[in-house]
Structure 1
Amino acid sequence: MSSTVVSPARLGKKSIGALGVLALSLGALQTVVEPALPLLQRELGISPAQGALVANALLVTGAVIAPVAGKLGDRYGGRRVLVWLMALVSAGGLLAAVAPNLPMLLLGQVLQGVMVGALPLSFILVRRHLSTGESQAAIGVVVALFTGGGMVGTLIAGPIASALSWHGMFAVPTIVIIATTVLVIRWMPPDPPALSQDRIDWPGVALLSATLLVFMLALAVVPGSGLPPLAIGAVVVVVAALATGWVLVERRTASPMVDLRMLAVPATRNAYVLTFFITVSSGMVLFLLPQLFAVRGDGYGFAAGTTTIGLFLLPGAIAGAVSDSVGGIAARRFGPRAVVVVGAVVTAATLISLASLHDEAWQLVLAKVLTAFAAGAGTTALLAGTATAVEARDTGIATSLLVVTRVIGVALGAQVAGALLGASGDRPAESAFVTGFVVAGLVAASALLVVRMTRGAQA
């Protein structure tokens, strides 16, 4: 595969600012549904299970589209593909803003889910227009603003719904996205695509997309569905068969979607494994803490309402947004492995302590701040390190697979935590929360074992 070697124009402040605002507004659109699910269930007359489907539709689409977007960005240029995706996101946001029923709202959420592909495309742009050190810092800022946008979405959902109706929750961020996309078109210099005579590996695209789609749908639907073990086993077999088929296709294709030799490089492979452990632990915390705030048991829990829970979680959301920018800078100065080690130690110690110290709200708030900061810094450091460790033409696919790993890890962690709580009945027992915190801490500590075992291979 050959590529042109062109010296692209450097990104100016306007270009970086446009990318940042776009990331912020995308993060806001992504999270407006979370605090508004009870409202949507009442307004649309849908069940909690259908409400969960609304929340998961965007996540499922995001996991499927991210690697495809990254590969297309590597091939045709990040700016061009980013604009294509933003057109789909805008259409989805506007559709959700006028949706009269559940099917149309779900379709809007599915279209909005392609926003996850914006992250690897942004990484392509900063990688091609900035130096290595500047790219790592810029990636941290973009991820931080995306995370910060999620915090903004959580906070504005209620006020906008009260002032305009729930449709306005989707309309306002979408309008900002449309306006910012126009600025990206105007201010962002085009990045030269990688010229190649090879065809796009569409069978590989289809198989990877199908594998992720079935896996994410299984995570969203199978737990609590009451399916017999044989049916669940069949789902596992289907996922394994699709994944195996994808690997076989990639190994035999002259121009694969994912060059599996890239996954064989220790630095890249270790980044995926470490990201997985970090995000599984993080996903468990994301699920457990709101549940403990909401429950009222004999000597445990706080019986907090939605607004109060949001306020309790706000410091952690702020810490997560700050940590993303810190992670990129720290990766530049100390290296991703050092950031991961510190984050894993902090997370494991915090969660093991939380297993015995969880009878005051401030203890949970502090635990959320520490774990959110550690997880955000660690995963962003790995993203920044990977983006600058691979060939420039592979930046999109390498980072998009890391984004997918983050999505899968968080979803899997939440499902594990939900299973632990669900096993103790309708009202989770205190012992179930204790077990959950211990397991999450041990998963975080597993990252230390990975670092130890892979010493000498830079992550």
Structure 2
Amino acid sequence: MSEAVVLPVRMGRLSIGVLGVLALALGTLQSVVEPALPLLQRELGVSPAEGALVGNTLLITGAVITPVVGELGDRYGGKRVLVRLMAVVSAGGLLASLAPNLPALLLGQVLQGVMVGALPLSFILVRKHLPIGESQAAMGLVVALFAGGGMVGILIAGPLAEGLSWHWMFALPTITIIAATLAVTRLMPHDPPIRSDGGIDWPGVVLLSGTLLAFMLGLVTVTSTDLPPLAVGALAALAAALAAGWVAVERRAASPMVDPRMLAKPAMWNACVLTFAMTTSSGMVVFLLPQLFAISADGYGFGVGTTDIGLFLMPGVIAGAVSDSVGGIAARRFGPRPVFIAGAIVTAATMIALASLHDAEWQLVLAKALTAFAAGVGTTALLAGTATAVEAGDTGVATGLLIVTRVIGVALGAQISGAILAAGADPVTDQPTESAFVTGFAVAGLVAALSLLVVRFMKKGAWT
């Protein structure tokens, strides 16, 4: 006698709304740090290089969890994994809201970083409980609200930090996340797990996590302290050893988290190299502009508070959100190569111009919007082009590699910028000098320009 087929319970509008509220709160929590970095550095008494690590720790956790969370959701059920991940995020948000010092805040950011798993898990839920047409609309709503949350976070960070304290930047979104998670637990129908014979690549997860953490912690230590050459060499050797171990393990794994053999494919290699260059440049912009806005107006800066920094950054946030859809459309129409070249030219020209012209707020606002749009269009075009260039069965691995590459590039760019500002600090005031910002903008433009040189020597046929 055949087993009865159990159809999944249909998801109601209230459940979709709860997922949307959760995405909105997560996007808010993720974005509050950017405009508030100068304030956090002052309040915690840390250097720009150490301040850059506040945002980077969340990115590193996100890079590690992204390739794993979808498989966990399929294996154990999307609702079950989502609720547990949100418990970790909530713990991280509460820890950050109570953090008395930098190490506690960094630990809170590490825990918050698992929030990136909310989107793929939400997609699993709506796909299982809604017809295809309705599930696509629900996915679009969740993504739009997550992006909208990013804008909300940029806007509320200043009023909360300046009106109450910076701890409330983390507390308020976290309270909303806790409430939304409780609603998900009560309202969301359960989804049955999918049986799988393959195991999760935990050795690969651990080694990649260790590689990224060793690399970023080593970078911030090298750039913020005077380490002897032997210690610097030891840190580099540790990161290299972990990376080599990860490659070796992944090459032998039956179901690798990220297959490094994908990098041998020309389309994949090109996309990773160029994505890394573009995101490193844009990561420098993301860090440098709030710092320059916050520098005292008595010198060359503007003396802007956190609230106004958020307002000045908003056009760039909107431009970055729009660029994702434009990049995909442009890649289909013109191909990824010319779209990336255009984005790199705009980014390089903007940053080189900003090295000379940075004495008015509108110049910084325009630069942020131009680079956010150009970098977003260029990297999205690479992502879309790569997804169609590889075999259908390799799409998830290829896009996962590019997402990890994006995260590493942004984190590296922010850390390099922090190191440049720390190295160029005035010994009397302990504030970065104008020449340090000029150097940072010039380096960001040079990195983008170097990507054009890389394109020049890449074969056109390797892009598809």
Q: Closer, same or farther in 2 for the Cα pair 1:375/1:183, shift >3 Å?
A: farther
Q: Closer, same or farther in 2 for the Cα pair 1:428/1:169, shift >3 Å?
A: closer
Q: Does 1:267 align with 2:267?
A: yes
1:443 to 434, 444, 447: 447
- Map of 1:3 onto structure 2: none
- Map of 1:286 onto structure 2: 286
- Map of 2:24 onto structure 1: 24
Q: Closer, same or farther in 2 for the Cα pair 1:26/1:400, shift >3 Å?
A: farther
Please tell me the root mean square deviation across aligned C-alpha atoms, in Å: 4.2
- For 2:388 and 2:28, how far apart are their aligned partners in 1? 28
Name the amino acid aligned to 1:363: Q
Contact 1:211 1:239 in 2 (8 A): yes
- Map of 2:157 onto structure 1: 157
Q: Closer, same or farther in 2 for the Cα pair 1:319/1:17, shift >3 Å?
A: farther
Q: Closer, same or farther in 2 for the Cα pair 1:354/1:17, shift >3 Å?
A: farther
Q: Closer, same or farther in 2 for the Cα pair 1:294/1:66, shift >3 Å?
A: same
Name the amino acid aligned to 1:404: V
Name the amino acid aligned to 2:46: P
Deviates more, 1:236-245 or 1:264-273: 264-273
- Map of 2:169 onto structure 1: 169
- For 2:353 and 2:396, how far apart are their aligned partners in 1? 39
- For 2:11 and 2:277, how far apart are their aligned partners in 1? 34
Deviation at 1:264, TM superposition (A): 2.6
- Map of 2:463 onto structure 1: 458
- Provide, for residues 234-277 of structure 1, a one-character-per-residue CA deviation record: whole Å limited to 9, x for no partner: 11111011111111112223333323333333333332222211
Deviates more, 1:311-320 or 1:396-405: 396-405
Q: Closer, same or farther in 2 for the Cα pair 1:229/1:16, shift >3 Å?
A: farther
Q: 1:207-226, aligned counterparts within 5 Å? A: 207-226=207-226
- For 2:178 and 2:109, how far apart are their aligned partners in 1? 17
- Map of 1:48 onto structure 2: 46
Q: Does 1:65 align with 2:69?
A: no
Deviates more, 1:90-99 or 1:228-237: 90-99
- Map of 2:3 onto structure 1: none
Deviation at 1:76, TM superposition (A): 5.6
Contact 1:144 1:323 in 2 (8 A): no
How does the TM-score come out when normalised to structure 1? Answer: 0.79
Name the amino acid aligned to 2:462: A
Deviation at 1:373, TM superposition (A): 1.1
Q: Does 1:239 align with 2:219?
A: no
Identical residues among aligned pairs (%):
72
- For 2:11 and 2:389, how far apart are their aligned partners in 1? 20
Name the amino acid aligned to 1:326: V
Deviates more, 1:332-341 or 1:268-277: 332-341
Contact 2:61 2:113 in 1 (8 A): yes
- For 1:413 and 1:98, how far apart are their aligned partners in 2? 28
- Provide, for residues 298-319 of structure 1, a one-character-per-residue CA deviation record: whole Å limited to 9, x for no partner: 9844344444433332322222
Name the amino acid aligned to 1:414: A
Q: Aligned pair count?
A: 448
How does the TM-score come out when normalised to structure 2? Answer: 0.78
Contact 2:320 2:369 in 1 (8 A): yes
- Provide, for residues 153-192 of structure 1, a one-character-per-residue CA deviation record: whole Å limited to 9, x for no partner: 1321233456665554333322433454567675689598
Q: 1:411-430, aligned counterparts within 5 Å? A: 411-426=411-426, 427-430=431-434
Contact 1:278 1:444 in 2 (8 A): yes
Deviation at 1:328, TM superposition (A): 4.0
- Provide, for residues 384-425 of structure 1, a one-character-per-residue CA deviation record: whole Å limited to 9, x for no partner: 455566667665554343332222111211232333344444
Contact 2:349 2:445 in 1 (8 A): yes
Deviation at 1:207, TM superposition (A): 1.3
Deviation at 1:221, TM superposition (A): 3.3
Q: Closer, same or farther in 2 for the Cα pair 1:304/1:445, shift >3 Å?
A: same
- For 2:141 and 2:269, how far apart are their aligned partners in 1? 24
Deviation at 1:74, TM superposition (A): 6.7
Q: Does 1:352 align with 2:352?
A: yes
- For 1:41 and 1:35, how far apart are their aligned partners in 2? 12
Contact 1:59 1:407 in 2 (8 A): yes
Deviation at 1:286, TM superposition (A): 1.8
Name the amino acid aligned to 1:214: A
- For 2:360 and 2:272, how far apart are their aligned partners in 1? 36
Q: Closer, same or farther in 2 for the Cα pair 1:263/1:56, shift >3 Å?
A: closer
Contact 1:283 1:413 in 2 (8 A): yes
Contact 2:69 2:120 in 1 (8 A): yes
Name the amino acid aligned to 1:47: G
- For 1:164 and 1:428, how far apart are their aligned partners in 2? 28
